[in-house]
Amino acid sequence: MRKNLLYLLPILFAVVTDSSSCSKSGTDTDISAEAVVVGYLNAGKPISIKIYEQKALDDTASYGPALSGLTPGITDGSKSINLTETATGTYTYADSTYLTPGKTYTLNFTYNGKPVTASTIMPTKPTGYTSSATTLQLPLATTQNNTIALIFKWKNPDSLYHVLVFKNDETSPYNVHLQNNSPVNFTFNVNKAEAYNVYYRSLNYLGVYRAILYRVNKEYIDLLNNTTTTTSKNLTNPPTNVVGGLGIFTAMQSDTIKLTFY
């Protein structure tokens, strides 16, 4: 096995927290030949890109060593910017007005004498995002597990990809179903839908939640799907939109509804 790659998808919980893979051919002599990009662009926010060295197969760390001293840049086709290394392997750009919907952004840098590039399109912000309720009493019994608790809707006339993330804001959230060792934070891959039903079986903790609807690109969904289907018996390199390297460089926008479960 030649490659072992693990990089986090920061907005995802429960459905996927990491991606681990390796190739079934080749040798371990060239494991650090490629850079691993972890870049998530959000319109109206500063840019932060992390770049790592590809890690060894037997390395149990989440990432390989951070790569310092690179000179990455990003262009939108009309304006090019240079990222500044603000921490080891972390390259940033502070102007939050640079990222706007509809534009294609291309990352480029050189590693080991070879060009590394990746492109993504900034999607528009989700619109028409609603929930059937924002306050909900969770039943103590599990007899309602297969009953719809919440219905989320949004406008999606162009059949764009979406991910629905539930993030609990409590310091010590209380599990009303102690027999269920369920995750506090979790994610639904809703694909190209414009509505999604959440059942009581997914809601086990009290407190304030943020239900965050992310509009994402296909490269993100491809990686998510690969991570949820990869097993120890099916080890393959995860999909990547990085040419000359590995990882993901993608853009997304979101809208949030605050929920209270009691």
Q: Are 116 and 242 in contact (CB under 8 A)?
A: yes
Highest mean pLDDT among 10-14, 166-170, 180-184: 166-170
Q: Are 92 and 75 part of one and the same domain?
A: yes
Q: Which residue has the higher pLDDT, 142 or 168?
A: 168
Q: Are 119 and 144 part of one and the same domain?
A: no
12-42: pLDDT as tens digits: 555 533 333 344 344 444 445 799 999 999 9
Can you read off the two tokens belonging to residue 237? 């390199």
In this structure, are strands 90-93 and 47-53 parallel, antiparallel, or unpaired? antiparallel
Q: Are 93 and 171 part of one and the same domain?
A: no
**Of 232, 251, 240, 225, nearest to 35 (Cα)?**
240
Q: Residue 232: is its pLDDT beyond 70?
A: no
46-79: pLDDT as tens digits: 999 999 998 765 555 667 899 999 999 999 999 9
Q: Are 140 and 152 in contact (CB under 8 A)?
A: no
- pLDDT for res 234: 45
pTM here is 0.84
> What number is the average pLDDT over the span 91-116?
98
Q: Residue 5: is its pLDDT beyond 50?
A: no
Domain limits at 182? 127-215+257-261
Q: Residue 198: is its pLDDT beyond 90?
A: yes
Distance CA 236, CA 239 (A): 9
Please indicate, yes or no, if residue 221 is contained in any of the structural domains.
no
Main-chain phi, psi angles of 115, to 5 degrees: -70, 140
Handedness of CA 250, 98, 253, 217 (dihedral sign): negative
- pLDDT for res 1: 34
Can you read off the two tokens belonging to residue 194? 């414009």
CATH of the domain at 53: 2.60.40
Q: How many domains does the chain have?
A: 2
- pLDDT for res 64: 86
